[in-house]
Amino acid sequence: MNTKKNYSRPLLALLLLVAGLAGAMRPQSVAAQNSGTTGPLNWNYDAGTKTLSITGSGAMPNFVTYLDHPWVAFREQIEKVTIASGVTAIGESAFDSFKKLTAVTLPSSVTTIGTFAFANCKALTGITIPSGVKTIKESAFYGCTALTSVTLPEGLTTIEEGVFTNCDALASIELPASLQTIDASALDAPVLTEIKVKAGSAHFEAAEGVLYNKGKTTLLRYPRKKPGTTFTIPASVTTIKEYAFTNCTALTGVTIPKDVTTIGESAFQGCTALTSVTLPADAKLTTIEQGAFYACEMLTSITLPEGLQTIGGNVFNTCEKLPSITIPKSVTTIGDGAFAYCSALKDVTVFWNTPLTIPPGVFAYITPPTSVTLHVPGGTGEAYQGNAVWGKLTIEELPWGDFDTGLHWAYDAANHSLTITNPNPSTPQPIPNFNFPDEQPWKAYRGGIQKVTIGAGVNHVGKYAFTNCEKLTSVTLPAGLKEIEKNAFGGCEKLTSINLPEGLKTIGEGAFTACFALSDLTIPKSVKTIEENAFYQCGSLTHVTLPDDAQLTTIGKNAFFRCRSLTNLTIPKNVTAIGQSAFNECLALKSITIPNGVTAIADFAFQGCTALKDVTVAWETPIQPNSDAFKQLPLDKIRLHVPEGKIGAYKAANVWRDFIVMADRGDLAGGLKWQMDATYTLTIINPTPRIAQADAGL
């Protein structure tokens, strides 16, 4: 499919030319009539003065082509056309291609000048439109290459497309205050340097020769030969109308203000010297319509802003010098032929995690397509390679990307650092869950990651987010983080420490499993749940700090299984359940303190804790732990420290009675108290030291 289209208005004229060639082969009458009727009107051609006169009342009929009017035989001789009062409309193609026509007289009774009415009258130098004319229709004076003077009357309301297109000598034009509608292509005249608007217009205004709507929110037409090579569009403009800069061949640079939302169809088409288009980073541009930069052959630089949604068909077609383009993630539509014939295009950068569906001809006629490198977010290469259109380009993954939540990630190979940021931190977003480790978009860099920094505005670290980052040694987590999900840091073998922020609620299943180098851990008081396998096989973990007022209620199954360097642990008072094998094979664990809020100790909770010497409990009435909670331990060699006065109760309770049951404190006669600390140092205390006490019988 050839997508290299021509957006010029004179297509109809070309068809008419073909028709003219066909007409040249028609048999010609020996003596053509020099007068007659056409519709309600009379016509007469005076060969002596070479004048065609039209009289009568009413509208001249339309003619399909310039060969279909009754005076066609005199088309090559007529130099003057006079329309008498009473005629209300000039018919379509009525005087098209009258090559010797130099003068036209129109009466005030005329209200409409039809399509192609005076098109291609190449000797016509001036025209005065009478006050009665309300509408000048499409291409009425198209191709009048000698036309230098046009007088438009007050009362004129409509100028349609292409009216003065290719009027090669027309340098200036003034629009009447009465004008309500004009198609920008009407003023596509090659040497037009300025456009003026008479005072009092309710619809238009001009500034520095450029035509705008009233209020200057829409730029309608920039003259093709306006002096200067660069132009800064006023800040008030929000719309660049279709054909606004078409064929401005001297223009080399344009600066577009931030509030422009639409660049219209063919707006800069044929600006063959245009090299750069500048838009601010905060531009509000949403739509670039079809053909907007078609055939801007020298264009080398344009930055498409985030927020852009539509790139129309053929927008950059035949931009032969454009070396690269970055398409923002906000784009949802790219039209066919958008980058066709961009022969210098070498780099295209996109941000979609899922390839955007685009027509097959977007990159048509770039040979070979593999000469273009498509830069895609990390982890998406396979998806692009499998795409019917994108896959024809050479795919290269970049060390960064965006999640659908808006979070951005980037890997710095020089510093071995992975950073995750939220561009809008006031709206917290999660790092998503992955189904398995190899779904991580940074999986290609996992072997090099040594540092992970998660910025403000991230509230969730998803499943498998950093699993098997084997060289990871440092992690920075943000305030406001609520959850660390399943296996988020599992298998990070060289991670030695991590600062868990206050506000964290959940440490998920296997979150730090097999972090073999993790040695010291403080769990903030905000954590409510440590799920199963959370610190499974953290073999270097020697110390875990849990505040006594922590909100922690559950220590899950296998939570600290095989933390073989852990020496002691005080479980906070709000914990109600210790899961199965929670501290199984904590071989160095010497002491454990269990608060009275615990109501369940599951099987194997402390199995294999072979160094255990002291267990401290606080229940006034002993709970019943699972019979295998302390399986394979010599309970008769482990001291069980119970509340004062409860030794008998524990000695009568299953499981507990197998320990060495003892109290840590008590009362002596005479009001003295005693207590024994973890080093078995006995201290006698007088609660009222100012009052001497008896020796209590000691």
CATH number of 345's domain: 3.80.10.10
Question: What distance in Å separates the CA atoms of residue 589 and residue 606, rounded to the nearest whole number?
Answer: 9
81 belongs to a structural domain: no
Q: Which of 109, 159, 105 is nearest to 131 (CA)?
A: 109
pLDDT at 690: 62
Encode 208-235 in three state secondary structure: CCEEEECCCCEEEECCCCCCCCEEECCC
Strand partners, 529: 506, 554
| pLDDT value at 514 more than 70 | yes
pLDDT at 692: 54
198 belongs to a structural domain: no
Strand partners, 635: none
248 belongs to a structural domain: yes
Upstream peptide bond of 689 is cis (omega within 30 degrees of 0): no
DSSP string, 137-159: -TTTTTT-TT--EEE--TT--EE
In this prediction, residues 626-643 reach a mean pLDDT of: 95
Question: What distance in Å separates the CA atoms of residue 226 and residue 244, rounded to the nearest whole number?
Answer: 13
Q: What is the pLDDT of residues 315-333, one digit of tens each?
A: 999 999 999 999 999 999 9
Residue 456 and residue 425 in contact, taking contact as beta carbons nearer than 8 Å: yes
Residue 663 or residue 400, greater confidence = 400
Residue 312 and residue 339 in contact, taking contact as beta carbons nearer than 8 Å: no
| pLDDT value at 355 more than 60 | yes
Question: What distance in Å separates the CA atoms of residue 637 and residue 382, rounded to the nearest whole number?
Answer: 61
Angle, CA 331 vertex, CA 328 and CA 335 arms, to 5°: 120
Question: What distance in Å separates the CA atoms of residue 452 and residue 433, rounded to the nearest whole number?
Answer: 17
pLDDT at 681: 76
Question: What distance in Å separates the CA atoms of residue 500 and residue 461, rounded to the nearest whole number?
Answer: 12
Confidence label for 666 from pLDDT (cuts 50, 70 and 90): low
pLDDT at 695: 52
Question: What distance in Å separates the CA atoms of residue 14 and residue 550, rounded to the nearest whole number?
Answer: 85
Confidence label for 664 from pLDDT (cuts 50, 70 and 90): confident
pLDDT at 603: 97
pLDDT at 673: 74
Residue 696 or residue 471, greater confidence = 471
Q: What is the pLDDT of residues 260-276, one digit of tens each?
A: 999 999 999 999 999 99
Element (H, E) at 460: strand 458-461
| pLDDT value at 3 more than 90 | no
Residue 137 and residue 112 in contact, taking contact as beta carbons nearer than 8 Å: yes
Q: What is the pTM of this model?
A: 0.76
Q: Is 486 exposed, middle or buried (CB count within 10 Å of its CB: 0-12, 13-18, 19+)?
A: buried
What SS3 state is found at 255? strand
Confidence label for 687 from pLDDT (cuts 50, 70 and 90): confident
In this prediction, residues 554-570 reach a mean pLDDT of: 96
Q: Which of 58, 125, 127, 69 is nearest to 95 (CA)?
A: 69
In this prediction, residues 658-681 reach a mean pLDDT of: 77
What SS3 state is found at 83? strand
Strand partners, 90: 113
- What's the alpha-carbon Rg for the chain, to the nearest Å? 44
| pLDDT value at 20 more than 60 | no
Lowest mean pLDDT among 6-15, 371-380, 512-521: 6-15
- Would you state the structure tokens that stand for residue 557, as one six-digit string? 């199954």
Q: Which of 604, 565, 560, 611 is nearest to 581 (CA)?
A: 604
Residue type, 561: F
Percent of residues, the chain, with pLDDT higher than 70: 93
pLDDT at 146: 98
Residue type, 146: A
In this prediction, residues 509-516 reach a mean pLDDT of: 98
Residue 427 and residue 407 in contact, taking contact as beta carbons nearer than 8 Å: no
| pLDDT value at 414 more than 50 | yes
Domain containing 235 equals 228-398
- Would you state the structure tokens that stand for residue 267, as one six-digit string? 């707006």
Residue 124 has what DSSP assignment?
Answer: -
Residue 220 and residue 241 in contact, taking contact as beta carbons nearer than 8 Å: yes
Question: What distance in Å separates the CA atoms of residue 258 and residue 255, rounded to the nearest whole number?
Answer: 10
pLDDT at 679: 65
Diameter of the chain measured on Cα atoms: 155
Other Cβ atoms within 10 Å of 79 Cβ, number: 16
In this prediction, residues 359-388 reach a mean pLDDT of: 96
Question: What distance in Å separates the CA atoms of residue 695 and residue 680, rounded to the nearest whole number?
Answer: 22
The owner of tokens 């920075």 is 476
Confidence label for 31 from pLDDT (cuts 50, 70 and 90): low
283 belongs to a structural domain: yes
654 belongs to a structural domain: no
Residue 497 has what DSSP assignment?
Answer: B
Q: Is 101 exposed, middle or buried (CB count within 10 Å of its CB: 0-12, 13-18, 19+)?
A: buried
| pLDDT value at 23 more than 90 | no
Question: What distance in Å separates the CA atoms of residue 215 and residue 201, rounded to the nearest whole number?
Answer: 11
How many separate domains does the chain show? 1
In this prediction, residues 284-291 reach a mean pLDDT of: 98
Confidence label for 32 from pLDDT (cuts 50, 70 and 90): confident
Confidence label for 6 from pLDDT (cuts 50, 70 and 90): very low
Q: What is the pLDDT of residues 422-456, one digit of tens each?
A: 999 999 999 999 999 889 999 999 999 999 999 99
In this prediction, residues 131-157 reach a mean pLDDT of: 98
103 belongs to a structural domain: no
pLDDT at 684: 83
DSSP string, 273-319: T--EEE--TT----EE-TTTTTT-TT--EE-PPTT--EE-TTTTTT-
pLDDT at 26: 43
256 belongs to a structural domain: yes
Residue type, 111: T
Q: How far is CA 32 from CA 72, 78, 375, in A?
A: 9, 14, 70
Q: Which of 563, 574, 514 is nearest to 541 (CA)?
A: 563
Question: What distance in Å separates the CA atoms of residue 447 and residue 140, rounded to the nearest whole number?
Answer: 71
HSE of 217, CA atoms in CB hemisphere, 13 A: 5
Percent of residues, the chain, with pLDDT higher than 90: 87
Q: What is the pLDDT of residues 582-629, one digit of tens each?
A: 999 999 999 999 999 999 999 999 999 999 999 999 999 999 999 999
Average pLDDT for the chain: 93
26 belongs to a structural domain: no
DSSP string, 332-358: -EE-TTTTTT-TT--EEE---SSPPP-
In this prediction, residues 213-235 reach a mean pLDDT of: 98
- Would you state the structure tokens that stand for residue 419, as one six-digit string? 């950073």
Q: Which of 297, 252, 246, 260 is nearest to 277 (CA)?
A: 252
